[in-house]
Amino acid sequence: MASLFDGMGGTLSDLFGAPVRYIPSGGASAGVGRDVQSLFRRAPFDAIDDDGRPVVTFLPSWQVRRDLVPELARGDRIEPGDGESYTVVTIRPETSPDAEAFMLCALDKVLT
């Protein structure tokens, strides 16, 4: 069933996002990656924990449309263009069936 909010993920990402380099874990050594329009944050933000309770998280996060990185997995890396690299630690998919729904990833900074 279509919803009024179907397709909003793409609109939000286009308006407020920026290109972020996505590098699948198998492609890091080969330099394989691609730019993905998405939202990267280092500021605290509200989230929902595994039990459905609201929490504030202080980890860097990456919000990306599900259809842009269907192969997304823990251990993949991103480079948001600030000279740093981050590893995907957890992935929380939205419950929306919309193909453009966001996935929220908690990140760890890669120390060099």
- Number of structural domains, the chain? 1
pLDDT band with cut points at 50, 70 and 90 for residue 57? confident
In-domain check, residue 56 = yes
What is the C-alpha separation between 17 and 15, in angstroms, rounded? 6
> pLDDT averaged over the chain?
81
CA distances from 26 to 22, 52, 90, 92, 105 (A): 12, 33, 17, 21, 18
105: CATH: 2.40.10
Checking if the pLDDT of 95 tops 50, the result is yes
Full domain range(s) for residue 94: 8-109
What's the pLDDT tens digit per position in 59-70?
A: 899 999 988 998
- What's the pTM? 0.74
**Residue 3: inside a domain, yes or no?**
no
Pairing relationship of beta strands 86-93 and 54-57 according to DSSP bridges: unpaired
Per the domain annotation, does 2 fall within a domain? Answer: no
14 inside domain = yes
